[in-house]
Amino acid sequence: MEQHPISWRGDGKYFATMSMCGSNLSRKLKIWERDSGALLASSEEKAFAGPVLEWMPSGAKIAAVYDRKAENESPSVVFFERNGLERSKFSVGEGINAKVRFLKWNCSSDLLAGVVECGNYEALKIWYFSNNHWYLKHEIRYLKQDEVRFMWNQEKPLQLICWTLGGQVTVYNFVWNTAVTDNSVALVIDGSNIHVSPLSLSLMPPPMYLFSLKFSSRVRGMAVYCKNSKNQLAAFLSDGSLCVVELPSIETWEELEGKEFSVEASHTEMVLGSILHLVWLDSHTLLSVSHYGFSHSNDLFQSSLNEGALRGFYLREIELECSEDIVPGLLTCSGWNATVSKQNTLEELVIGIAPNPASKYSAYMQFSDGKIKEYLSKIGTGGGSLEQEYQGFSAACPWMDVVLVGSAGQSKPVLFGLDEIGRLHASGGIVVCNNCSNFSFYSNLADQVVTHLILATKQDLLFIVDIVDIFNGELDSKYGNFVRSNSRKREENENYIHIWERGAKIVGVLHGDEAATILQTTRGNLECIYPRKLVLVSIINALAQKRFRDALLMVRRHRIDFNVIIDYCGWQAFSQSAFEFVRQVNNLGYITEFVCSVKSENVIETLYKNHVSVPCSEVANVTLAGGLQNFLADNKVSSILMAIRKALEDHFTESPARELCILTTLARSEPPLLEDALKRIKVIREKELSHADDHRRMTYPSAEEALKHLLWLADGDAVYDAALGLYDLKLTAIVALNAQKDPKEFLPFLQELERMPTPLMQYNIDLRLKRFEKALRHIASAGDSYYDDCMTLVKKNPQLFPLSLQLFTDPAKRMPFLEAWGDYLSGEKCFEDAATIYLSCFNLDKALKSYRAINNWSGVLTVAGFLNLGKDEVLHLAGELCEQLQALGKPGEAAKIALEYCGDVNSGVNLLISARDWEEALRVVFMHRREDLVKVVKDASVECASTLTNEYEEGLEKVGKYLARYLAVRQRRLLLAAKLQSEKREGSDVEDDAASEASSNFSGMSAYTTGTRKSSATSTLSAATTRARDARRQRKRGKIRPGSADEEFALVDHLKGMSLRVEARRELKSLLVSLMMFGEGETARKLQQMGENFQLSQMAAVRLAEDTISNDTINEYAHTLEQYTPKVRDEMHDSEALSWRVKVFLSNE
Taking only the tens place, the pLDDT of each residue in 993-1012 is 433 333 333 333 333 333 33
CA distance 738 to 714: 13
Asked if 231 and 251 count as a contact pair (C-beta separation under 8 A), the reply is no
Please give the DSSP secondary-structure letter assigned to residue 508. E
Name the band, by pLDDT with cuts 50, 70 and 90, for residue 305.
very low
Residues counted in the chain: 1149
What is the reported pLDDT for 1025? 47
Does residue 671 have a cis peptide bond before it, meaning omega lies within 30 degrees of 0?
yes
User: Residue 197 is which amino acid?
Assistant: S
| pLDDT value for 610 | 82
Terminal-to-terminal C-alpha distance of the chain: 120
Burial of 471 (0-12, 13-18, 19+ CB in 10 A): middle
Query: 643-666 pLDDT, tens per residue?
Result: 999 999 999 988 889 999 999 999
Of 565, 740, 593, 561, the residue nearest 664 (C-alpha): 593
User: Looking at the predicted structure, is the pLDDT value of residue 219 above 90?
Assistant: yes
Residue 988 has pLDDT above 80, yes or no: no
pLDDT mean over 1067-1091: 82
For the chain, residues classed under CATH 2.130.10.10 are 1-174
pLDDT digits (tens, 9 = 90+) for 68-127: 888 889 999 999 999 999 999 999 988 888 999 999 999 999 999 999 998 888 999 999
Q: pLDDT for 409-427, tens place per residue? A: 678 899 999 999 999 999 8
The rounded distance, in Å, linking the Cα atoms of 376 and 344 is 12
Q: What is the pLDDT, as a whole number, of residue 360?
A: 81
Helix or strand holding residue 920 (H, E): helix 918-927
* Three-class DSSP category at 564: helix
Q: Is pLDDT of 581 > 90? A: yes
Q: Please give the Cα distance from 761 to 468 (Å, whole number).
A: 67
Short-list 1061, 1052, 965, 959, CA closest to 1005: 965
Whole-angstrom Cα distance, residue 360 to residue 302? 32
pLDDT score of 629: 43
Q: How far apart are CA 646 and CA 659, in angstroms?
A: 12
Alpha-carbon span 988 to 83, nearest angstrom: 65
Residue 235, φ and ψ in degrees, nearest 5? -130, 135
| Minimum mean pLDDT range among 506-515, 564-573, 750-759, 1121-1130 | 1121-1130
Per-residue pLDDT of 454-500, as tens digits, reads: 999 999 999 999 998 998 888 888 888 888 876 554 445 578 899 98
Burial of 8 (0-12, 13-18, 19+ CB in 10 A): middle
CA nearest to 580, candidates 541, 544, 629, 546: 546
Using an 8 Å Cβ cutoff, are 504 and 180 in contact?
A: no
Q: In what order do the strands lie in the sheet with 111-118?
A: 99-105, 111-118, 121-130, 133-143
What is the per-residue pLDDT across 678-698, written as a single tens digit (0 to 9) for each? 999 999 888 888 765 666 667
Between 407 and 106, name the one with better pLDDT. Answer: 106
pLDDT of residue 408: 57
What is the torsional sign of CA 557, 561, 563, 564? negative
Q: Residues 445, 511: contact at Cβ < 8 Å?
A: yes
Report how far residue 516's alpha carbon sits from residue 901's, in angstroms, rounded to the nearest whole number.
Answer: 91
> Averaged over 821-829, what is the pLDDT?
89
Between CA 580 and CA 642 the distance in angstroms is 14
Dihedral sign for Cα atoms in the order 920, 923, 928, 933:
positive
Comparing 39-53, 376-390, 718-732, 886-900, which segment has the lowest mean pLDDT?
Answer: 376-390
Is 358 within 8 Å of 404 (Cβ atoms)? yes
Q: What is the pLDDT of residue 1129?
A: 82
> Within its chain, how far is the Cα of 887 from the centroid?
61
> In sequence order, what are the residues at sequence separation of 6 or more whose Cβ sits closer than 8 angstroms to the Cβ of residue 276?
221, 288, 289, 290, 291, 313, 350
Q: Tell whether the model's pLDDT for residue 886 goes beyond 60.
A: yes
Helix (H, G, I), strand (E, B) or coil at 538: helix
Closest by CA to 366, choosing from 409, 332, 400, 336, is 400
Calpha distance 441→1066 (Å, rounded): 74
**373-400 pLDDT, tens per residue?**
989 887 655 566 776 667 789 899 999 9
Question: Residue 565: which of 526, 615, 518, 613 has the closest Cα?
Answer: 615
**Helices and strands per DSSP (H, E), number in the chain:** 38, 41
Q: How confident is the model at residue 632 (pLDDT cuts 50, 70, 90)?
A: very low
Is 844 in contact with 864 (CB distance < 8 Å)? no
* Residues 354, 772: Cα–Cα separation, whole Å: 78
Position 533 scores a pLDDT of 93
Rg (CA), the chain: 48
In angstroms, rounded to a whole number, what is the distance separating the alpha carbons of residues 621 and 604?
17
pLDDT reading at 1149 higher than 80 = no
Amino acid 1001: pLDDT: 32
Q: What is the dihedral sign for C-alpha 973, 978, 979, 983?
A: positive
- Above 80 in pLDDT, residue 621? no
Burial of 570: CB neighbours in 10 Å, binned 0-12, 13-18, 19+ = buried
Separation between Cα atoms, residue 1149 and residue 1141, nearest integer Å: 15
pLDDT tier at 23 (50, 70, 90 boundaries)? low
pLDDT at 50 > cutoff 60:
yes
Q: How far is CA 499 from CA 353, 434, 519, in A?
A: 30, 18, 9
Closest residue by Cα to residue 242 from 139, 352, 180, 318: 318
CA geometry: angle at 219 spanning 218 and 221, to 5°?
155
With bands split at pLDDT 50, 70 and 90, how would you rate the model's confidence at 440? very high
Q: How far is CA 705 from the centre of its chain?
A: 44
CB 425 within 8 A of CB 417: yes
Residue 1143, helix vs strand vs coil:
helix
pLDDT tens for each residue of 334-381: 989 999 988 888 888 899 999 998 888 889 999 988 889 989 887 655
d(CA 116, CA 126): 11
Contact (Cβ atoms closer than 8 angstroms) between residue 213 and residue 261: yes
Tell how strand 211-214 and strand 219-227 pair up: unpaired
Contact 1089, 1129 (CB under 8 A): no
Please tell me the predicted confidence (pLDDT) of residue 710.
92
Rounded to an integer, what distance in angstroms lies between the CA atom of residue 29 and that of residue 627?
87
The span from the CA of 869 to the CA of 863, in Å, is 9
pLDDT of residue 566: 94
Q: Rounded to 5 degrees, what are φ and ψ at 243? A: -120, 145
Report the C-alpha gap between 644 and 648 in whole angstroms.
6
Comparing 718 with 840, the larger pLDDT belongs to 718
HEC string of 802-846? HHHHHHCCCHHHHHHHHHHHHHHHHHCCCHHHHHHHHHHCCCHHH
| Mean pLDDT value of segment 1010-1039 | 42
Average pLDDT, stretch 1106-1111? 80
* pLDDT bracket for residue 990 (50, 70, 90): very low
In this prediction, residue 677 carries a pLDDT of 93
Q: Are 11 and 56 in contact (CB under 8 A)?
A: no
Give the per-residue SS3 of 864-878: HHHCCCCHHHHHHHH
CATH code of the domain occupying 1-174: 2.130.10.10
Q: List the one residue out of 296, 316, 210, 204 whose CA is nearest residue 260.
A: 210
Spell out where 620-777 has E strands. none
Q: What is the pLDDT of residue 1119?
A: 81
Q: How many CB atoms lie within 10 A of CB 348?
A: 13
Rounded to whole angstroms, the Cα distance separating 394 from 423 reads 10
Output the pLDDT for position 981: 77
**CB 96, CB 103: distance < 8 Å:** no
CA atoms within 13 A on the CB side of 426: 21
Task: Tell me the pLDDT tens digit for each residue of 761-780.
Answer: 999 999 999 999 999 999 98
147-170 confidence digits (pLDDT tens)? 999 999 999 999 999 999 988 999
Q: Chain-wide mean pLDDT for the chain?
A: 84
> Contact, 289 vs 276, CB < 8 A?
yes
Q: Taking the model in full, what pTM does it have?
A: 0.73
> Which residue type sits at 715?
D
Nearest in space to 81 (alpha carbons), one of 31, 10, 135, 154: 31
Residue type, 140: I
Q: Is 304 or 892 the better-scoring residue by pLDDT?
A: 892
Lowest mean pLDDT among 404-408, 814-818, 1039-1043: 1039-1043
Residue 46 DSSP one-character state: B
